[in-house]
Amino acid sequence: MSAFDLARRLRAGETVYAAWCMIGSPIVAETIAREGFPAVVLDAQHGLWDTASLIIGTGAVNHAESTPIVRVPHNDFALVSRALDFGAEAIIAPMINSAADARHFAAAAKYPPLGERSWGPLRAMAMQGRTAPVDYMREANDGTLTLAMIETATALGNVDAIATTPGIDGLFVGPYDLATALSNGTAQDVDAPQVGQAIDKICTAAKNAGKIPGIYCRNADGAVAMAKRGFRFVVAGNDQTTLREATVAQLRALKP
């Protein structure tokens, strides 16, 4: 796998399916990556990843010839640059509700002139096969991706301004929070008509701005459906749900 492979593929217009890991186990993430997912998201917002496991997990995913991605906690822009230094090649930031939020995100993730990322990617350089600092710095702004999560009514209203913010590479739909917000906290129906309209609006905003449209899906069927609607970075379920459903299927088969 070449350095910055995910960015290269997405910028070339490919559709990339990714896995999502909540459990916080580097071995689980590595195992999933080895089965063929080209990218694996380590969820440090709602998942069980801490700093130590993120360091090991990004290396494990990279070693399995897949691209490590980190979703940082809400408003934790300090972890954005740290995760990139650990070797993550993309960052998903939740609750980006305005152009100002997007600028703060981009500032932490991008080197000047796009942002204010501080220098120190020693592990990232090694993982991506770069020995000369100037080589990494020259490639990093295009090679590491910033995906701003759109998951509130406020963000939906500001989606075009967020999409056109310099240093933001893509929009990523959080459908469950979006469904919660659009129902005023009464439902999580990601198939509701107003949620579907919002999802299409976000996809269109990304495309109009020349950015990458991304979305989280619960399973592979949903991921394929969203790819057909125009999304190009598509998550196809998470490790906890996959493990639970596989276990239920096994137990059902064992019953007389």
238 forms bridges with which residues in the sheet?
Answer: 20
Could you tell me the two tokens for 152?
A: 């509130």
Helix (H, G, I), strand (E, B) or coil at 170: strand
- Residue type for position 2: S
CA-derived radius of gyration, the chain: 18
Q: Which amino acid is at 68?
A: P
Question: Which one, of 236, 66, 43, 37, lies nearest residue 149 by Cα?
Answer: 43
Contact, 95 vs 75, CB < 8 A? yes
DSSP-H helix ranges across the chain: 5-11, 26-34, 51-63, 77-86, 99-109, 122-127, 133-143, 153-157, 159-163, 175-182, 193-208, 220-228, 239-254
HSE (side-chain half, CA atoms, 13 Å) at 160: 3
- Supply the residues annotated as catalytic: 46
H or E element: which one contains 12? Answer: none
